[in-house]
Structure 1
Amino acid sequence: MTSSSASGRKTLSKIACNRLQKELLEWQVNPPAGFKHKVTDNLQRWVIEVNGAPGTLYSNEAYQLQVDFPEHYPMEAPQVIFIPPAPLHPHIYSNGHICLDILYDSWSPAMTVSSICISILSMLSSSTMKQRPEDNDRYVKNCRNGRSPKETRWWFHDDKV
C-alpha cells in the first residue's frame, strides 16, 4: 500500500503493521463472539461482520463494520463506521457514523479491534429502541463529500443506550 492509494491514506508505520498482524492472529485464534473478520489482503482496512446478540432488538440481524487504521495506530484510534445500511440505533447515524466515546475522546492504545467490537455490540445490545439520533438528517447532510466521523466534535451525554 502506498500513500497514493485511492483513499489518500498514509502507509502504516512498522509499529502499526506489527500490532495489526498480532491482533489479526489473535482474532483468528480467539475471535470475539458474534463477529467475523472478512479476509482481504488489506491490513489497513478491515471489514467485520457483526451479528446482533440473541435476546436483543438486533437478534438475527447482521451488519458490517469498516475499520480503517491510521498510520500511527494504536497511538491514534481507527476510524470505525457501519457500512450502510447501518442499524437503527440512537447513537448510529444513517451514514454509518457511530457516536461512541472510545472511538474518539476516550481512545486508549491498550484497546484492540476486539475490544472495539465488544463495545459496539454492548451498545447495540443495551438499546431499548430502534431509532436514528434526533439530529440524523442534519448530521448526515453536513457529512457529505466523505467527511470522516473523526472530524466531528462529539458530545457524549447519553450513557443509557
Structure 2
Amino acid sequence: MSRIATKRLQKELAELQQKGPPAGCRLIQAENLEEWVFALQVHESVFAGEEFALRFRFSTSYPIDASQSPEVTFVTTAPFRPPEHPHVYTNGHICASVLGSGWSPVLNVQSLLLCIVISLFLLRWLTSSFPLECSISTIQSMLASCKKKELPPDNDRYIRNAPKSPKDTRWAYHDDTV
C-alpha cells in the first residue's frame, strides 16, 4: 500500500474509533488497512429490525486516483445478507455512482457510509442543505424513499455474469426514482 494510502486510512480509522461511525453503523472488523467491515441498521424504514454488513476494500492508491474508490459491497455470508433494494444485487454489489464515476478523493469512509445509509434506507427528509460530503445527485440516484423491498429487475442476469468485483462492472446509472 502506498504511503499516502496508509496515512489516510490510519487517520480515517483513528477518527472512526475515536468519534464512532455514523448513527446506525458500527465497525465490526478493521484488522488491517486493506479491508474493513461495518454493520448497519436503519430503524425508520422498510428495513427496520434488520442488520446488514458493508465490506470496504481499499486499493493501494486510495484515495488519490479518481478511479480508485474503495470496493464497497454488502456481505452475503451468514448471518448477513444484502438488503432487497433496486440498486443492490444478491451478490452484494451496489449500483451507486459514488462508488464509481462519482467518486472523488475528498470522500472518505464516513461520508460513503452516510451516502449509502441515506441513499438506501432513510425516508425522504433530505434537503439540499444537508451537511453531507457526497452530492445530492448521488443520493437522489438511489433515494432513500425505498418503500418496498425488491431486487433489481436484472438481478438474475447480472448475477450469472457478474465479475467478482463490482469495480469491474460498467454500471449504467439510470434510475434516480428509487
TM-score (norm 2): 0.79
Alignment gaps of 5+ in structure 2: 122-143
Which of 155, 158, 168 is 1:136 aligned to?
A: 155
Q: What is the CA–CA distance in structure 2 between the aligned matches of 1:65 and 1:39, rounded to whole Å?
A: 10
SS of aligned partner of 2:17: helix
Partner of 1:3: none
| Residue identity in the other structure for 1:100 | A
Residue by residue over 1:83-109, the C-alpha shift from the partner in whole angstroms, topping out at 9 and shown as x without a partner, is: 111110000000000000000000000
SS of aligned partner of 1:67: strand
Residue 55 to residue 40, structure 1, CA distance change in 2 (3 Å): closer
Alignment gaps of 5+ in structure 1: 1-11
SS of aligned partner of 1:147: coil
Partner of 2:102: 106
Does the 8 Å CA contact 1:86/1:93 hold for their aligned counterparts? yes
| Residue identity in the other structure for 2:7 | N
SS of aligned partner of 1:64: strand
- The number of residues matched between the two structures is 147
| Residue identity in the other structure for 2:95 | C
| Residue identity in the other structure for 1:105 | S
Does the 8 Å CA contact 1:32/1:118 hold for their aligned counterparts? yes
Report the alpha carbon displacement of residue 29 of structure 1 after superposing the two structures with TM. Answer: 2.1
Q: What is the CA–CA distance in structure 1 between the aligned matches of 2:120 and 2:107, rounded to whole Å?
A: 19
Partner of 1:159: 176
Report the alpha carbon displacement of residue 158 of structure 1 after superposing the two structures with TM. Answer: 1.4
Partner of 1:6: none
SS of aligned partner of 1:154: coil
Does the 8 Å CA contact 1:51/1:62 hold for their aligned counterparts? yes
Partner of 2:118: 122
Indicate the RMSD between aligned Cα atoms, in angstroms.
1.1
1:149 lines up with 2:170 in the alignment: no
Partner of 2:28: 38
Q: What is the CA–CA distance in structure 2 between the aligned matches of 1:36 and 1:91, rounded to whole Å?
A: 22
Write out the 4+ residue segments of structure 1 that deviate beyond 2 Å after TM superposition.
none
Alignment of 1:20-39 (within 5 A): 20-30=9-19, 31-39=21-29
SS of aligned partner of 1:65: strand
